[in-house]
Amino acid sequence: MSRQLSLIDRLLQQADNALRSFAPGAVQSRGPVPGADLPEAELTESERRHAAGLMRVNHTGEVCAQALYAGQATTARLDDVRAQMEEAAAEERDHLAWCETRLRALEAHPSVLNPAFYALSFTLGATAGALGDRWSLGFVAATEDQVSQHLESHLERLPAADLRSRAVVAQMLEDEQRHADHARAAGGAPFPLPVRRLMTAMSKVMTATTYRV
């Protein structure tokens, strides 16, 4: 029979997960990267930098997702909710690995701001979890809805020839929409409009900064 983890155990486990999120190559995909069988595009320097900027934003978004789910799993009160958070976090780790693969192919690096965004996102996730599972699930749904909007815009903005990046973003979009649907189906509370607007403003800060650094 598995041992029930204490809060301290879960915090130590999440600290290890945080370090893995920052260490290059530490997170591995559980399956093949979407679009790996497609040809690598011959991009102009401007297109390469633009695609790299968008994938850097996506990579930081996945770092934030790791932190959000980690924080919520640490403070979630019901075991089934915690298990749902941990399964979603496993898919987000796949996304993180996919984005890192694309950044390397585009001769780019992850954002140097990732540790700061991780810390902020973990705090937000833990706070949402402490408020109760209904609000925690609602936070997941609201967050994933925003991520989906970003990914949809990136599909429009990525160079048409960059088929590999587009395949990664398309699969991520499908997964994020499913996470949002599952959170609502599990009883997630709808977030008030002022809170959603604040989340949007914070998201804009993240995308504007990590596109370049």
- With beta carbons less than 8 A apart as the criterion, state whether 125 and 67 touch: yes
Our CA dihedral for 49, 54, 55, 60, rounded to 10 degrees, sits at 120
DSSP states along 26-38: -S--SSPPTTTTS
Task: Measure CA 118 to chain center.
Answer: 10
Phi, psi of 90 (to 5 degrees): -65, -40
- Going by C-alpha positions, the residue among 127, 5, 22, 121 that lies closest to residue 64 is 121
Q: Is 91 annotated as a binding residue?
A: no
Task: Identify the residue whose tokens are 């598995």.
Answer: 2
Q: What is the CA radius of gyration of the chain?
A: 17
Q: Is 150 annotated in some ligand binding site?
A: no
DSSP structural state of residue 106: T
92 is in an annotated binding site: yes
Q: How far apart are CA 59 and CA 86, in angstroms?
A: 19
Q: Is 179 annotated as a binding residue?
A: yes
154 is in an annotated binding site: no
Q: Is 62 part of any known ligand binding site?
A: yes
Binding residues for Fe cation: 62, 92, 95, 144, 176, 179
Binding residues: 62, 92, 95, 144, 176, 179
